[in-house]
Structure 1
Amino acid sequence: MQHNTGKGCQGRVRVLCLLLPLLLSGSALTSSIRTLDTVEELADISIEFGKAFPRHGLHLLHWLATTAEFIHTDFIQLVNIEPSRGDYGFHRYDNAQGILPSLGTIGTDLPQYFSLGNLDTNTHPRSRQLPSYVTEDSYNSRGDPNWNRDRIVVQISRDNRTSASGDPVAQVQVFITPCHHAGSPPQACVYDGNSTFEVSLQLLGEIPQLTLDAFLRQAGYDAYIRDALHAQSLGCTWRTQRGDSVGGAMGECEAPNVRLEVVTSPHPGYAWISWSGIPRTTLEKGVVMTLRSNTEGSGEVFHRSMDGQWTSGVMATPLRLDTGLQVTLAQLAGPQSGVQLWAGPEFDETNGKLPTRGYDASLQLFVKRGKACVRLYIRKTFSDWMAVGRFGLSWVALYKSSSDRSMSTQTWQWVVRFTRNGGRDTEAYEAYDYESNMDIRLEVQARFFLGRAYSSERARTAPWDVRRQPPQVRLEVQPPPWCGAGLYDGPRPLKKESQL
C-alpha cells in the first residue's frame, strides 16, 4: 500500500492533546487506563487495536492525528472538526459502562465524550466522509465479525476562554478502544475496559511525522495477511509465504492498491466511475463493474463488463450523482459468476468535505439526486437566528465556479425559507436544507450573505470538486448475461479529457 497521507505537519501544528489533568471524580478509574506515549508502546503485542484485517483502528488514528487541525499556544484550540455537529460520523458517547473517567453532569458546553469509527453507514451515514483508506477494508469484509470493531473516543471540554474569532475553545483527551458486537444491533456495542488506552500528546505528535505505511509497520499492523486476503479475493498471483513470491518474483498483487470510486462527471448532475490498480490477471478472467445505490428505496443500478486491457480509467454512467452510490467489481463468468471481488466506498453526499467554520452556524454544500443543495447547521443555543439583525435577511446563493462574481448567482434562497431536516440534527445542532434545481458540477460553490447587499458576504464553501479527472478510456464492451434489464446503455465512445 502506498499511501502518502499526513507526511509531517506541513506548516500547521496538528496535535491532539490533554490540556488539563482531570480534576473530576473517577480519578481511580483514570489511573487504571494505561497511557501510550510512543508508537513502540502502541506496537505492544498485547494491544490488538486495529492491527489485523479488517480492523481499521490504526488507519483511523493516523488519519485523525494528521488531519485534525489544532492550534497549540497557551491552550489547545480545535479548529476544523466539530464532533457535536457529527463531522466524520462523530456521535455522543454516554460512558454508561463507566469505562472512561466520569464527567459528572453532561450539558451542551460541559465535558462530553464523542465516539468516532462506527463505519455502519445505515446508522452513521456521515462516516462516509472518512477517506477510503480508512473504510475500504470494511466494505470488503462485511461477513467478518471484526469489520467494525475499533473506536476512538474524544473527550471535549470547553471553558470561558475563546479563540481569536470569539468561539469557545475545545480542549481534548483521546482514547482508543475496541467495540464488541457492533452493528448487530448498533446499540449492542460494548466497549472493552481492559483494552482501552489513552493516547498521549507525545504519541499524537509523533504519528504525523510518519507516512501511513511507516506508521502501520512500526505499530505492528499485519499487512501480509491483509494483502494475501485481498489477492485471494482478486484471484491474482501472490507470495506463497512471508518473504517469498510466486515463481521467485514479486507477485502481481504485492501490496494491492485497487481503487474504485464514484466521482463527479464534467457533465452536470451525473456520476462517473473511476478505477485504478486492478490487476491484469483479474481483468483477463472476465469481470463486470457495477454502480448501484445503497440508499433505502433506490433500485438504480448500472453494469458494464470489462476486458483485460484497462487496469485504470474512468467511465460515464446514466446515474445521477447521489449519496450511497457504490462501485463494485464482480466475476463475470464461470462457477463464481456474480461473486463480488472488490467494493469501493459509498459516495458521501458532501463529497467528503466539512461545513464552513463557525461555532453558532456553518454552511455545507451537498448533492441530492444530481442537484446542488445547501445545508445550514444552527447551534441550538442560537435560538433567535431568524430575527432581523441576525439571519432574518440572510440568503445563500449558488455559483458555477468560485471565480464567479457575486452578481453571477445561478440560484438563491432566503435562509429563513430553508427546510428543517431533522434527520441531520444532532444533540447540539439543527439542520436546515435548501434543495435547488441546479445540477451539481465540479466547481459549484455556495456563499452566505448576511444582508441584502452582495457586500455582506460572510462565508463560502470550498468548491465541490476541482481535482483533475484522470484520462478517459474507450471501452468496447457488452452487458454481462446476468444483468437483466438493468440500466446498461451499451458501449459509448468517450471523449478525451482535452475535448471536454
Structure 2
Amino acid sequence: MMKISGRITWCCVALLLALTSVSAVQKELDSIDDLKQINFRQSVPKHSLLLLHWFANKIDIDNNDIIRLAFDLNSGDYGSHHYGNFEGLLDPLPRGNQHRYYTIGNLYREAPIQLPPYVVHPRRQYVGENRDRIIARVRDPNIEGRVHRRIDRVFITQHYDTNENLGTPYDPDHTYRITINLLRQIREFAVGQNQQQLMHLRNRFGSSADGFDIVNTWGELACLGLLLYIVFQEKPSSNQQNNRPENEINPWNGINSYIPRILPSFGDVVVNINDAEDHEAIRTTGNIIAVPRINVRRSFRYNPKD
C-alpha cells in the first residue's frame, strides 16, 4: 500500500513539473500587437526586438511556411552555439537525432560572421547588456553539405538579470515562442526601404508616427525605427485599424495627401493649392470646406469668429 501511495505521489510531482515546464513555452507572440503587451521597459531588454528584427530578415520563409537558415550554426556564426536545454526551459526534443536547439545572438562571442552594427552597437536606449537570445530548433543539424537548414520553432528569451542572483540560466517567465505570422510581419520592416514603403507600413499598422521625423532620425534604418516606435510608444487599441488603405494619410502629419477631406469651420480659412494649373490661394468662408483632390499643405491660418 505504501509503495502504491509513493508511486502516486511521485507521479503527481512529475506531472506538476511537466505542466510547469510546458506553461513556460506556451506563451506565444503571434503579431506586433502581441509585442506591445510585453513590458520592455521593466522586464525585457529593448535590445531583444533589435535581435528579433535582424533574425526575421535573415531567414527565408517559403509559401508553405517553411523556415530555412542560410548560415552555419555549428561554426558559431552570429554568436550561435548548441543549447542543451538541460534546465527544461523548452520541450524535449523529438526522439532520434534529427533535431537540435541553438542559441543565437551572443554579442561577446567570437564569430566568423558578426551581427550587424545596429545590433552590436545599438543606440543607448536599446542596449541590452547581452542578455537576450534567439533560440531555434533546427532539423537535421548534422547533415554535412546542407546549407539551408530547416527551423521548425523559434523563441526569444533572456538570461536572468544579475540583480536577481539566479545565475546564468534563461528566464522561463520571459521566454516566448515566435510564430511565423509575427516573423512575416517583422520582415515587412526590412532595412533599406524607401519613404513611400515606410508610409505604407505606417498606415498598414495604424501608427501615428511622424514619418519625416523617423527618416531624419534613423536614415536607412527608418523602417526599423518605425517598428520600434510602434511597439514601444503605441499601445494596442480596440479602435486601431491595422489594415488601413495605403493612400489614407493624414495631411496634418507632414505628409502630402490626395484624399478629399471635410474640415470644420474656423471662420476664414486659406488653403494653399500646389497644382501645376493653379497656384493661387483660395479664400473660402462658410460652415464646411470641401477640399478637392489637391496637395494640402500643413500650414494654414484661420480667424476665429469670436
Q: More helix by proportion, 1 or 2?
A: 2
Which has more strand, going by share of residues?
1
TM-score normalised per structure 1? 0.31
Q: Larger radius of gyration, structure 1 or 2?
A: 2
Length-normalised TM-score, structure 2: 0.49
Return the structure number with greater relative CO, CA threshold 8 A, min gap 6. 2
